[in-house]
Structure 1
Amino acid sequence: MMDVRYKRDLNSNYMIMTDAEKREEIYEDRMITENRIYGFLPCVEQKKEKQTEYFYEITGRQSMELLYERRKVSYEQLVELLKDLLQILNASEEYLLNADHFVLLPEYLYLDTRTERLYVCYYPGYEKKIRESFLDLAEYLMGKLDKSDRKGIEFGYDLYQCALEPNFSLMEILKSHTEMENPEKNEETALPVVEAVEPVTGTQTLSSGKKSVQEEILEKTGSWKNFFHKKKKQPVETYVAEADQIKSGSVLFLREQGNTGETTFLREEKHYGLLLKSKNPDYPDLKMEGTSFLIGKRKESVDGWVPAPTVSRIHARIIKEEGCYLLEDLNSTNGTRAGQHQLNPYELFPLDNGMRVAFAGAEYEAYL
């Protein structure tokens, strides 16, 4: 298990990964610290008496896990993410870096908060086959797809199905979908020419002899892995409700009532347990609902909207654990303060009744 912590200094935020023991410098250390490689999180290495630490700068970036906590992924966003990843993999080949050291976990993948360009953590102490890492990432993204976006569902289906094949090539699947969209511009397709994962001998695509994507969706039960296993057909409502739960923290689910076959929608009771009273009349008060509450200025991505220019798009979060409210800074640009304490990124800090809280320059008072 990786030892990960976060730190804020005067101008920057860092994600720090630590090797359990000090080791001799290797080729990969020099490559990632002495070069600015496309799509790599900038890295600085510090060797201590008994261990090696890697400082990855994450200033102005947000983790994929947090960015998509309240959002769905569209077809266009999925394609752009994969194009970025392909360019990153190609860049790593130019520096002769082992792709098995990419950490493709959503909590360690970062996106620029303005452009949503992808940045990846390359950690020499991480060992997992790139194909396995990509398959896990593809499954995560499948669970985040907008189910009203037919093109996105179709592409996600094809991507995951092809990723299961031993000769999968990310370049080939991106190229095939681009060609289907723009058949007259095949020669102008702007895709890197170096294969990203493994040499390809063929790409499996949907054919007219197979069931449609919508028919396949109706057969899905359980996780996305089971999506590709033949199951007894279920109502489409079952698919939607199950898909909403996959790694998304959804509270909506279905329950069969006896033998009647009736479906009941259940939702956790909502109640206000915390009020953040704004000290500025231009900003609304924030009323926390449930056990997790995102705060920021990107209205569609958060629960508590703070329209202040100094506040980050996804700035902070409050979680409720065993009756205690914990404030967490989410790698914001201008920081979060509770009382007199300046939080480090992802540090959890307990809130007290009457405590002053500041998200950058937006000040509130907490009432529990």
Structure 2
Amino acid sequence: MLDVKYYKDYSHNYLILKDNGCLSENVYQRKMITENKIKGLLESQERHINGDILLYYEITSRQSLFSIYEGKTIGMEELGKFFLQLKLVNDMLQKYLLDGNCLVLSPEYIFRNLETQEYYFLYYPDPDEGDFTELLDFFLSRVNNEDPKAVEAVYKIADLVAREQFVLDEILKWFQDDVVEGEKSKNRETPTYKGDNQDILAYQGENREETGQAFAPGNFGGQEKKYGKVEWKKIIPLWAAGFLGGAVLIYIMYTFQLSYQEEMYLMIGWIVVAALAAGPGAWILYLSYMNGKEEGQVQLKGEKAYPYVATGEKEDIASRQDLGNTVFIPWTESCENKLYSMDKKNKCHIDLEKLPVTVGKLAGAVDMVINEKSISRMHVKFSKNGNNICITDLNSTNGTFRNGMRLSPNASEVIEPGDEIRLGKLKFIYR
């Protein structure tokens, strides 16, 4: 059993493993993984504290397999990518004369960079920790039952493992076509829609008809903004022409003696000059008024809680109706179960009625997307433990705070009504 702790310093997140006796015995393996950057392995550092040998594994900007697929399913393409990278890592281990059985194949300790989609494995020089059973059970529980090829592949792997006939090179042939097809489909995907403001809140659903467009100031429910911005490049030349024309007319009035007909022409000239000067000004006032009126309407709409749309497994109608029968402990009986934003610029609410909910800024990887610079790709998870609602920091860069106290990476705490929750620089109040 591994003795695992998590630690965060100013700019790094670490998973720490204490020596169970194997680090002292297997000096070669320990030095190889700490002195070399082996592709596919978590980078590690060796530290000696109070006479103990500790390995610090770098997990910054990476999420565990367990966190990524909690409440979600795994299809054939994702299985193929995983086993392909597992094969590449095993090949690298052979080059460094390292034992492949020392890869810790537990969903909590297999990490993935959500930006590059690369997997990173934890190497600990103890062959007893390389058991494949826990990972196989995880795949069996998470496989997408609507993907018959994925179901068949997982159960075939389980059968091969049970008969001790599992060969990684052989099963990779099952996934080749699906991985190639998946890469092709990525090139045909529709780009993400974003508003003018980068601090926006969007929800990921199965299609755009379910979720609508990204929610942003001035763009609620897919309604486009009707009033544009002031185009100063076009207005300033008109003003300049008006003032120049006025100067010419004044010069003519005081320099020449004009006939009645010429004075009429001069009057028409003054009307044109007045139109050039006053017209753009009136247009600016009109746009300012209409945009201000529209922002007021948006603010009123922004007070409403946004609907939550899950991206994990599909739920049938009966199970959704059963959610109304949830029993809460006394202090949550009248609780709204929402996080209300305390930021005047970001009136976004997080609905906690349907759990678990993951929040971050990487579309497709989380249930709720908040495009804000201080939010990590997968920042935080809200889940239910009995009658309690828990908040879990997902190895975020800028941290998750409850009532001013920062949560440790992957640590969970129960939240109560009135708690102040901070994600990065965004503050919420739980009601």
* Fold similarity call, TM over 0.5: yes
Query: Are 1:366 and 2:430 an aligned pair?
Result: yes
Structure ranking higher on relative contact order (CA contacts 8 Å, 6+ apart): 2
Map Cα deviations across residues 224-261 of structure 1 (whole Å, 9 max, x no partner): xxxxxxxxxxxxxxxxxxxxxxxxx99989xxxxxxxx
Q: Secondary structure at the match of 2:4?
A: strand
Corresponding position of 1:333: 397
Residue pairs, 1:234-273, within 5 angstroms: 267=322, 269-270=325-326
CA distance in 2 between partners of 1:140 and 1:353 (Å)? 34
**Correspondent of 1:277 among 313, 317, 340:** 340
Map Cα deviations across residues 305-335 of structure 1 (whole Å, 9 max, x no partner): 4332432232112344465544321101221
Structure 1 residues 25, 48: closer, same or farther in 2, change over 3 A? farther
Structure 1 residues 139, 353: closer, same or farther in 2, change over 3 A? closer
CA distance in 2 between partners of 1:16 and 1:302 (Å)? 26
Query: Are 1:145 and 2:208 an aligned pair?
Result: no
Residue pairs, 1:157-176, within 5 angstroms: 157-175=155-173
Map Cα deviations across residues 120-154 of structure 1 (whole Å, 9 max, x no partner): 111124624x4xx2343233213222222233223
Corresponding position of 1:308: 372
What is the CA distance between 1:350 and its match in structure 2?
A: 4.4
Give the partner amino acid of 2:15. Answer: M
Quick check: which one's strand share is greater?
1
What is the CA distance between 1:89 and its match in structure 2?
A: 1.1
Looking at CA atoms only, which structure, 1 or 2, has the larger radius of gyration? 2
Structure 1 residues 125, 158: closer, same or farther in 2, change over 3 A? closer
Corresponding position of 1:16: 16
Contact 1:28 1:97 in 2 (8 A): yes
Corresponding position of 1:209: none
CA distance in 2 between partners of 1:264 and 1:330 (Å)? 28
Contact 2:403 2:421 in 1 (8 A): yes
Contact 1:252 1:267 in 2 (8 A): no
Structure 1 residues 352, 124: closer, same or farther in 2, change over 3 A? same
Contact 2:403 2:420 in 1 (8 A): yes
Report the TM-score when normalising by structure 2. Answer: 0.59
CA distance in 1 between partners of 2:107 and 2:315 (Å)? 23
Corresponding position of 1:211: none
Corresponding position of 1:73: 74
Q: Secondary structure at the match of 2:5?
A: strand
Structure 1 residues 179, 290: closer, same or farther in 2, change over 3 A? closer
Gap regions ≥5 residues in structure 2? 181-311, 328-334
What is the CA distance between 1:181 and its match in structure 2?
A: 10
CA distance in 1 between partners of 2:171 and 2:347 (Å)? 46
CA distance in 2 between partners of 1:273 and 1:154 (Å)? 43
Corresponding position of 1:108: 109
Contact 2:72 2:313 in 1 (8 A): no
What is the CA distance between 1:28 and its match in structure 2?
A: 0.7
Report the TM-score when normalising by structure 1. Answer: 0.68
Structure 1 residues 309, 80: closer, same or farther in 2, change over 3 A? same
Structure 1 residues 149, 323: closer, same or farther in 2, change over 3 A? closer
Structure 1 residues 320, 148: closer, same or farther in 2, change over 3 A? closer
What is the CA distance between 1:278 and its match in structure 2?
A: 0.8
Corresponding position of 2:48: 47
What is the CA distance between 1:25 and its match in structure 2?
A: 6.5
Structure 1 residues 267, 95: closer, same or farther in 2, change over 3 A? farther
Contact 2:153 2:174 in 1 (8 A): no
What is the CA distance between 1:79 and its match in structure 2?
A: 0.6
Q: Secondary structure at the match of 2:166?
A: coil
Corresponding position of 1:226: none
**Correspondent of 2:359 among 295, 316, 320:** 295
CA distance in 2 between partners of 1:250 and 1:176 (Å)? 24
Map Cα deviations across residues 56-114 of structure 1 (whole Å, 9 max, x no partner): 11011100001011322121111111000011111111111122221100011101111
Moved more, 263-272 or 291-300: 263-272
Contact 1:20 1:52 in 2 (8 A): no
Quick check: which one's helix share is greater?
2
Residue pairs, 1:209-220, within 5 angstroms: none
Q: Secondary structure at the match of 1:294?
A: strand
What is the CA distance between 1:289 and its match in structure 2?
A: 2.3
Contact 1:317 1:327 in 2 (8 A): yes
Percentage identity across aligned positions?
28
**Correspondent of 1:346 among 394, 410, 424:** 410
